[in-house]
């Protein structure tokens, strides 16, 4: 049953709209976590921490990945499929690299005594960064699916909606990461 195609007068595709509402919902979750963080920080027994170097590298990586994904979507719209494929693959590699760098960051933290079960401030750092990483992994899975489709000989795609959905989500987790980093940097 094709329910979406029956609607002609939309300005925004329903699936894109759904994604935007979902983004609002995810934001509420992080709003919950970060406000819990602020409440907790104003109480006794809070130990501040330094943000590990790997997190800074990962920031550069995810920014770059957003850029490649942007170019990739542009290539798709221009039907430059070869360019689209390689840029999509590059984004995927960068996405995976981001996750690896996050893990390295956690290792770095553990080494200097900032452990998950240490002070409650450390637990918050792990949980906030970790839950963001889970959302990035969701994006990476979407990128894997897109790349597989892009390199498949059998599937021909003309609609730009899937590419745009993945782009929107990926830029969102990117911006969310920047926000969280700034948040953790200034309020620690």
In this structure, what token pair is assigned to residue 81? 């499929």
Residues that bind another protein (CB under 8 A): 1-10, 12-15, 17-18, 21-22, 24-26, 28-33, 36, 39-40, 43-46, 116-117, 119-120, 123-124, 127, 131, 157-159, 161-162
CB of 6 to another protein, least distance (A): 4
CB of 60 to another protein, least distance (A): 28
CB of 135 to another protein, least distance (A): 12
| Residue 129: closest CA among 172, 85, 176 | 176
CB of 63 to another protein, least distance (A): 26
Of residues 41 and 171, the one with the C-beta less far from another protein:
41
Q: Which run of H or E residues covers position 40?
A: helix 14-41
Could you identify the residue written with the tokens 């509402």? Answer: 21
CB 59, CB 181: distance < 8 Å: yes
Q: Report the residue count for the chain.
A: 188
Of residues 134 and 186, the one with the C-beta less far from another protein:
134
How many CB atoms neighbour CB 110 within 10 A? 15
């Amino acid at each position: 049953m094709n329910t979406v195609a029956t609607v002609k007068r939309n300005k925004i595709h329903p699936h894109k709209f759904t994604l935007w509402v979902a983004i609002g919902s995810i934001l509420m979750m992080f709003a919950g976590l970060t406000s819990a963080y602020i409440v907790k920080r104003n109480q006794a027994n809070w130990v501040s921490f330094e943000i590990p170097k790997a997190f800074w590298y990962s920031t550069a990586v995810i920014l770059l990945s957003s850029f490649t994904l942007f170019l990739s979507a542009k290539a798709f719209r221009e039907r430059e499929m070869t360019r689209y494929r390689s840029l999509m693959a590059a984004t995927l590699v960068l996405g995976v690299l981001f996750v690896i760098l996050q893990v390295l960051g956690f290792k770095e933290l553990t080494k200097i005594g900032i452990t998950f079960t240490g002070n409650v401030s450390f637990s918050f750092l792990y949980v906030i960064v970790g839950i963001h990483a889970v959302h990035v992994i969701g994006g990476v899975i979407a990128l894997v699916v897109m790349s597989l489709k892009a390199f498949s000989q059998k599937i021909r795609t003309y609609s730009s909606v899937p590419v745009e959905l993945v782009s929107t989500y990926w830029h969102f987790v990117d911006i969310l990461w920047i926000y969280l980093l700034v948040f953790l940097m200034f309020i620690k």
